[in-house]
Structure 1
Amino acid sequence: MASISSLGIGSGLDLNGLLDQLNEAERGKLEPVERQLESQQVRISAYGDLQGALSAFEGAVGRLAEPSLFQSLSANVTGEALQAAAGPEAAPGQYQLEVEHLASAGSLASQRIDVDLDDALTDAEQTLTLAFANAPEGEQGEIAVTVPAGSTLGDIRDAINAREGAGVSASVVNDGEGYRLALMSNETGEAASITGLTFEGGFFAEGMAVSDPGDEVAGVVAQAGRDAALSVNGIAITSPTNQVEGAIQGVTLDLQQAGRATLSVEQDTLAVREAVGGFVEAYNALKGTIGELTAFDADSGRAGELLGDSAVRTIESRLRNDLSGMVGDPAQGELAVLGDLGISLSLDGTLSLDEGELDLAIASDMGAVQRFFTGGEETLGMAGRLSETAGQLLGSNGALTNAIDGAENRIESLNQRYVRMEQGIAQTIERYRVQFGQLDGMIAQMNQTSDYLTQQFATMDAQLGRD
């Protein structure tokens, strides 16, 4: 039998077209598997949205479960003389403060130098020495700065600024009649005052070292650094910086300007109110996500990705049980249910907050509010209970994680099934191809035989006609 390289050549039939139709029909068997794979991918994406909303809720209740939230203090200042921040060691109280003056840095400007900025002031390497009321931290006594040969006034400035631990910032100032080398202490306060500058080169006049930075010696302009001066409830206090710590235990004062101010250190009720509001918002956001994922539109027939999902029902049921439960003993005057704080569960499953009732509960007994949310040594409060439940649902053996794992396992199984079906389809199409090739060859051979016989009969007819 002749070898056929392309189907249909021998027979004249469109066997390739027929084979394509058979291939398309066979691959149609894959469509249900593809739809199932797509459905599982959509479910995993929906579980991811639900996981994000539940994690955000866990974070919100976790904040309410921290006792430190209810023990935090705020520092409220009346007046513009200072700002304040209360730390964990602060104690409630009222303070009258007066800032007499702020801390300032010392400065020293050299005598006026009659040179151009491009003029070299050193023929060889020289040493410039800085003196302070107290040497900067990490330094001892005077500070030496090496000035290279051929340095201009700007080069001297740069050498000082490049000296690690110099304790000053240098600049070149033109006072209208000539240039000065100006130095400013990097730190504020009297102890950081710069008291002298000497230079081997000799182009500065003698007497640069001043015993009192307020003096003017040989054209030197010096200004002493100054400590901040303030009083707290009449008690005089000095500070080398404008950020004062320790004057009031646990409170940091940031001095802004001279003047009077009143400081109130009190319980930070705003943080508690914001945390409770955040808890309500996070739960409602979670409910909104669940609502979208389980919705059903009767008009279009469109169903949410997780409609009827058992993991969603488990999450809703467990959280609803926690929210409606009792955590305190009302007979003992304790806050027992969310309604005691102005939080109610609506018919649609969301929470609503009456801020007035919450403010009243906080103002009446912050300790009771704390116990309601955080519980005691052996019992969980409302926030602790919800945080534990959310953690379990999100955990490695939780309902949500198990649902995701189940969807991923189904995808793996469907992928394996898809591969097996593709292999079966390929084998079937190949079998058809072989059979069509055989058919094509057979028909081609039959056509050849038919042509031969036709020719023979024609020849016989011709011979008989002649006879």
Structure 2
Amino acid sequence: MASISALGVGSGLDLTGLLDQLRAAERQKLQPIVAQRTQEQAKISAYGRLQSALNKFQDATAKLNDPKLYQGLTTQVRGDGMTATASATATPGNYEVEVLNTARAGSVATTRVTDSSAALAGPNASLELSFGDGTTRTVTFDEGATLADMRNAINADADAGVNASIIFDGQGHRLVLSSRESGVDAGVTGVSFAGLSDPGALAEDTAARQAGRDAELNINGITITSATNRVEGAIQGVTLELSADSAGKTLGVTVQRDTESLKEAIQGFVSAYNEMKSTIGRMTAVGTDSTSAGELIGDRVIRSIESRLSRDLTDIVPGGDITMMSQLGISLRPNGRLELDESKLDEAIATNQQAVADFFAGDSKEAGLAGRLEDSMKRFLGDDGLIKSSITSSETRIESLKDRFERMERTIDRSIERYRRQFGQLDMMMAQMNSMSAYLSQQFDIMNAQLGRKR
């Protein structure tokens, strides 16, 4: 008998449908593996979010552990026409700055040239420039150079000390030379041309000379001069920038501790900690189903982190006037979050900023509260820390579950193939039996017909 190519053809039974049901039933064995793999993937994602929140808290903590935060100074200028910037070497104080003069660059202009395209330079033409410090500099020109060529040659000479331009005064063209730097010493004081094709064609117009000038200030009764309008060192650690309209003005400068940046850093510390706690709260929330429950309920890593941070925050910080966060207006609430009393913090910063620095930063990188927390953060976030170890562990379990899933699939495929062969054999047997039944029925019918005719 020929083999049966489709299940159920020989027997008339829905063996294909039965095989599909058996396959579906067998594949139910894969669901626990899929569920475990999904759970581990959700944990990895949650650890990533936790890592991000801890990184933000670590950054906020690092700011408080930086001594520069407590040494920072700010400046305030009363009046317009000047700005002031303080460096770490400045000291707090109040200063009265009277601006007598601002610095300016010197300039000279030449006599007019009617035709700007005319050749002015002879074979050995040159320009000698004189400056306020008594030095001179020489610029040479190519033979046949025009006024524009001379301008270009001067500007191309890095050592010329002046910038050249051409202006038209309504009657002719003039070469204007302006000092590249401001101040008396750098100011150009005179020019002299030599080797011109017409000796009288170009000369200095002494009436159009502007001498270089130093800035002059009176700071708390002391006269200060500066070659530029950027005055450095007159007030230790403070740089003053004068604008053109500051001359004749008396301005006030106050240098003081940068308490605002310190307060913002502490506020950022509290905010980052609370944000991290909110992230942990969502990950450990007990829900009514798998979609609303947190991914890390009962996770030992979460318990370790919360326990360590709580201990870090509440333990006394020895060695200073401030030993507990509560003295700064920071309290740890029953819900695990920090609460900040800004008025109490303002008072602590205003009355004893050094004590605030000692509490957070201490006398070494590890001594204060911030140093203690940074050490904990390294344990959590380091290459061998809790977070990365947990992620690696989940990734390893996912790989193991993947292998288990593939092995189970192969086992199921073998079982289904065995069922298929058995159903095929059953189908063939049923087909043979049906064929035999039809044959016997036919023979019985023939015999009955013969017996009937004999009667």
1:67 corresponds in structure 2 to 67
1:48 corresponds in structure 2 to 48
CA deviation profile, 1:228-255 (whole Å, cap 9, x unmatched): 2222222222222222212122111111
1:189–1:226: 8 Å Cα contact kept in structure 2? yes
Give the RMSD, CA atoms, in angstroms: 4.3
CA spacing shift, 1:385–1:446, aligned 2, 3 Å: same
Deviation at 1:338, TM superposition (A): 0.8
1:208 corresponds in structure 2 to 203
Aligned residue for 1:295, secondary structure, equals: coil
1:247 corresponds in structure 2 to 234
1:110–1:204: 8 Å Cα contact kept in structure 2? no
1:374 corresponds in structure 2 to 361
1:313 corresponds in structure 2 to 303
CA deviation profile, 1:303-343 (whole Å, cap 9, x unmatched): 112222111111111111111111137xxx82221111111
CA deviation profile, 1:70-129 (whole Å, cap 9, x unmatched): 22222222222321111121122222211223222344455444458xx68699999775
**In the alignment, is residue 142 of structure 1 matched against residue 171 of structure 2?**
no
**In the alignment, is residue 338 of structure 1 matched against residue 325 of structure 2?**
yes
Which segment is superposed worse, 291-300 or 99-108? Answer: 291-300
Sequence identity of aligned pairs in percent? 47
Measured in 2, the distance between the counterparts of 1:326 and 1:45 equals: 35
**In the alignment, is residue 405 of structure 1 matched against residue 392 of structure 2?**
yes
CA spacing shift, 1:440–1:204, aligned 2, 3 Å: farther
CA spacing shift, 1:442–1:276, aligned 2, 3 Å: same
Aligned residue for 1:88, secondary structure, equals: coil
CA deviation profile, 1:387-416 (whole Å, cap 9, x unmatched): 222222222333323222221221121122
Q: How many positions carry a matched residue from both structures?
A: 449
1:274 corresponds in structure 2 to 264
Measured in 1, the distance between the counterparts of 2:423 and 2:139 equals: 100
Unaligned runs of 5+ in 1: none
Deviation at 1:158, TM superposition (A): 6.0
**In the alignment, is residue 347 of structure 1 matched against residue 342 of structure 2?**
no
Q: How does 1:228-243 map to 2 (within 5 A)?
A: 228-243=215-230
1:77 corresponds in structure 2 to 77
Measured in 1, the distance between the counterparts of 2:8 and 2:219 equals: 106
Measured in 1, the distance between the counterparts of 2:234 and 2:193 equals: 39
Deviation at 1:171, TM superposition (A): 4.7
Deviation at 1:429, TM superposition (A): 4.4
Aligned residue for 1:344, secondary structure, equals: strand
Q: Which amino acid aligns with 1:208?
A: A
Measured in 2, the distance between the counterparts of 1:126 and 1:425 equals: 101
CA spacing shift, 1:44–1:378, aligned 2, 3 Å: closer
Which segment is superposed worse, 227-236 or 163-172? Answer: 163-172
CA spacing shift, 1:174–1:3, aligned 2, 3 Å: farther
Measured in 2, the distance between the counterparts of 1:8 and 1:126 equals: 114
**In the alignment, is residue 57 of structure 1 matched against residue 44 of structure 2?**
no
Q: Which amino acid aligns with 1:141?
A: R
Measured in 1, the distance between the counterparts of 2:255 and 2:284 equals: 49
2:103–2:229: 8 Å Cα contact kept in structure 1? yes
Which segment is superposed worse, 440-449 or 224-233? Answer: 440-449
- 2:276 aligned to 274, 286, 290, which one? 286
TM-score (norm 2): 0.80
- 1:265 aligned to 227, 232, 255, which one? 255
**In the alignment, is residue 395 of structure 1 matched against residue 382 of structure 2?**
yes
1:161–1:170: 8 Å Cα contact kept in structure 2? yes
Measured in 2, the distance between the counterparts of 1:180 and 1:245 equals: 37
Q: Which amino acid aligns with 2:221?
A: G
CA spacing shift, 1:306–1:300, aligned 2, 3 Å: closer
CA spacing shift, 1:461–1:321, aligned 2, 3 Å: same
Which segment is superposed worse, 410-419 or 192-201? Answer: 192-201
Q: Which amino acid aligns with 1:133?
A: F
2:129–2:136: 8 Å Cα contact kept in structure 1? no
CA spacing shift, 1:297–1:16, aligned 2, 3 Å: closer
Aligned residue for 2:62, secondary structure, equals: helix
1:193 corresponds in structure 2 to 187
TM-score (norm 1): 0.78
1:133 corresponds in structure 2 to 131
1:414 corresponds in structure 2 to 401
2:34 corresponds in structure 1 to 34
2:217–2:223: 8 Å Cα contact kept in structure 1? yes
Deviation at 1:3, TM superposition (A): 6.9
1:113–1:204: 8 Å Cα contact kept in structure 2? no
CA spacing shift, 1:323–1:457, aligned 2, 3 Å: same
CA spacing shift, 1:208–1:10, aligned 2, 3 Å: farther
Deviation at 1:26, TM superposition (A): 3.9
Deviation at 1:356, TM superposition (A): 1.5
Aligned residue for 2:181, secondary structure, equals: strand
Unaligned runs of 5+ in 2: none
